[in-house]
Structure 1
Amino acid sequence: MDKSWMTMGKTPNGRLSHPYIEGVNAFINSARAVVDLSGNIPCPCIHCVNCYRQSPQIVRIHLLHRGIMQSYINWYNHGEPRVLNKNIHDNEMSDGDHMDGIDALVDDRIRGEPRNATEDEEVRHFDKLEEDAKRELYPGCTDYSILKFVIEMLNVKVMTNLSNKGLDMMLELLTKVLPKGTKQVLA
């Protein structure tokens, strides 16, 4: 699918370019293939950054008003396969983006390359993240993993300019109202 529309945005007179609007519409039509049970898809606008699932209509509005994340080149959250080229250099992915630390760790781990003490600590950190992505927020909670909850709380903190004290107060309140098994997660 043509992705050149992503960088077009507004015309000099401040209106959205026709190719951008057509691109958004084509993206939404393509993304409808991966709707969840509620009929929602991840929203790749610059505010939601694929962390929030919205109806295709809301995603369209967000993309038209806010714009799409410019770094979202491989639309793997919207049906495109994740592609890794075996013939790439150590620090590059097939779409030209550089690997971040986690991707490099996974790549090293798969190839079985030796690591130093710092890398071992990073691997333990990655393993904990992977474990938290699989653990329920509290017993019986199927909508949120620990990792998803933490990411969404941090997103709320950043998007609302919430102070650390405000976030701590919210978490303290949540420990009081959520089921008992949650206290160990939020503490």
Structure 2
Amino acid sequence: MTVDKSWMHLPTRSCIEYINGVENFLEYAFKHSTDGDMIINCPCIDCSNRYRRTRDEVQYHLLFRGIRRDYTTWYLHGEGDSEEEGDSEVEGDDDDGMLYGDMFDMIKDAYPQVVCGKESSENEPQEPNGDAKKFYRLLEEVK
């Protein structure tokens, strides 16, 4: 089944097509949600799929802030999870795990002292500072 995403590119968020598109997105995303706590990644322009929000919060963000126009494959919201939704060449099918794994490996290679939790000069584990903690959180989101 192909999902209508034409609403994402409308010039105004106040038209009925955009509002219906947001509602259809929410139905789709929560239908494919695996969480018991009923939160999903928010694809609004500000959150950019980095933050998990409730249905009401995501709806508000999409209606008042807008959706990321480059989020054309809803891979974080269930698109590409099953073969019945499209061809075998759907962007999110096999590439997501490889992409994130490759990205993690590149970061780990570039910054081994941060990823491994060691100071390169002392080779002793240290408590991560605030920036390192943010970095670890981002790495966990990538995984």
Contact 1:35 1:41 (C-alpha < 8 Å) held by counterparts = no
Query: Secondary structure in 2 aligned to 1:54?
Result: strand
Per-residue deviation, residues 63-122 of structure 1 (Å, max 9, x unmatched): 00000001100001011017773xxxxxxxx66xxxxxx95x95xxxxxxxxxxxxxxx9
Larger radius of gyration: 1
2:26 to 25, 28, 41: 28
Q: Where does structure 2 lack aligned partners over 5 or more consecutive residues? A: 82-86, 92-97, 116-126, 128-132
Distance in structure 2 (CA, Å) of the matches to 1:75 and 1:126: 25
Aligned pairs for 1:8-157 (under 5 A) are 8-10=10-12, 16-33=14-31, 34=33, 36-81=35-80, 85=89, 103=99, 125-126=106-107, 128=109, 147-149=136-138
Distance in structure 2 (CA, Å) of the matches to 1:123 and 1:61: 32
Q: 1:31 to 1:18 in 2, by over 3 A?
A: same
Which one has more relative contact order, counting CA pairs under 8 Å at least 6 apart?
Answer: 2
Paired amino acid for 2:10: M
Query: Secondary structure in 2 aligned to 1:41?
Result: strand
Distance in structure 2 (CA, Å) of the matches to 1:31 and 1:68: 14
Distance in structure 2 (CA, Å) of the matches to 1:39 and 1:29: 12
Paired amino acid for 2:137: K
TM-score (normalizing by structure 2): 0.59
Question: How far apart are residue 126 of structure 1 and its match?
Answer: 4.6
Deviating runs (4+, > 4 A) in structure 1? 126-129, 149-152
Count of aligned pairs between the two proteins: 108
Distance in structure 1 (CA, Å) of the matches to 2:136 and 2:64: 29
Q: 1:21 to 1:9 in 2, by over 3 A?
A: farther
Among all aligned residue pairs of Structure 1 and Structure 2, give the percentage whose two residues are the same amino acid: 34
Paired amino acid for 1:125: M
Paired amino acid for 1:69: R
Q: Where does structure 1 lack aligned partners over 5 or more consecutive residues? A: 86-93, 96-101, 107-121, 133-137, 139-143, 153-187
Question: How far apart are residue 124 of structure 1 and its match?
Answer: 5.2
Contact 1:9 1:16 (C-alpha < 8 Å) held by counterparts = no
Query: Secondary structure in 1 aligned to 2:30?
Result: helix
TM-score (normalizing by structure 1): 0.46
Q: 1:56 to 1:148 in 2, by over 3 A?
A: same
Q: 1:56 to 1:123 in 2, by over 3 A?
A: closer
Distance in structure 2 (CA, Å) of the matches to 1:52 and 1:23: 21
